[in-house]
Homo-oligomer: A and B are copies of this chain.
Amino acid sequence: MTHPYFDPAQAAVFNELSTARDSTFEVSYFGLHGFAGVTRTILAAGGANFKNYVPADWATEKPSAPFGVIPLLKETSKDGSKTIHVAESDAIERYLAKKFGFTGANAFEETLVNTYAAHTTALFQQCFLKYFGTKDEEVKAKAKADMASGSIPGWVNFHEKYLAANGSNGHYVGDKTSLADIKTYHILGLLQSLTGEDLISESKTPAIWKVKTTLESMPSVRAWRETEDFKAFSEKNLNFLGYP
């Protein structure tokens, strides 16, 4: 039997809701930013009405998740009559980015957004798999040193250059918010937790920094950052991962 999320019987409802802009959303994830941070920022930047669900006892809910993991997304139609679900953070982010217009206006822009986003995601995954996901302190220290002298400055130099070439306007593509901006926004705290202000700061990388200040200046993003949920997630992120 397939998982309810994957049941083809819901295709018509899914396709209908996929273009709705007045839905409400629920993001299921642990009580920190982690792998749900990008999803929540897309929802905030899109001006969506969303709430967070933090499982009180994940072990009992785990078997009902399609791949035994969170985040998961639930979308409900405005009138409450229809509900759909999406699993896997990458698929959730793509679904929402497309819905809220963060994937570029045409094939060229979409490919640029995907290119920059992919380059950032690869570094994010490297940091998680090689550093945060490792318990051995010696292995961690070596991974940190390797990344701080290799992949992180590599990422910083390329992104600062390409963002500056686009006018240091806080965006990778044209003058619009995209998934590429949001991915970069979410990796900055992580990278600073590993390298301090040695590589990334307002003065050293002004074009990268402008991505952060541009997103944070959006009223709906600012409002999300002022919620109790956001503050609690930042605190837990700091405790568990070492960056807010």
Q: How many angstroms from the CA of A89 to the CA of B117 in the assembled complex?
A: 12
Q: A111-B14, A125-B129, A154-B68 are in contact. Are A162 and B3 (CB under 8 A)?
A: yes
Could you say which of A24-32, A102-110, A189-197 contacts chain B? A102-110
Number of copies: 2
From residue A139, how far is it (CB to closest CB) to chain B in Å?
6
Chain B residue at minimum C-beta to C-beta distance from A142: B136
Q: Total interface residues on A, using CB and 8 Å?
A: 46
Instruction: State whether A6 touches B112 (Cβ < 8 A).
Output: yes
Q: How many angstroms from the CA of A8 to the CA of B86 in the assembled complex?
A: 33
Inside 8 A of A3's CB, which chain B residues have their CB?
162, 165
Q: Which residues from chain A sit less than 8 Å from chain B, CB to CB?
A: 1-3, 6, 8, 10-11, 14-15, 18-19, 66-68, 86-91, 94-95, 106-109, 111-112, 114-115, 117-119, 121-122, 125-126, 129-130, 139, 154, 158, 162, 165-166, 174
From residue A78, how far is it (CB to closest CB) to chain B in Å?
18
Instruction: State whether A67 touches B119 (Cβ < 8 A).
Output: yes
Instruction: State whether B91 touches A1 (Cβ < 8 A).
Output: no
Instruction: State whether A91 touches B114 (Cβ < 8 A).
Output: yes
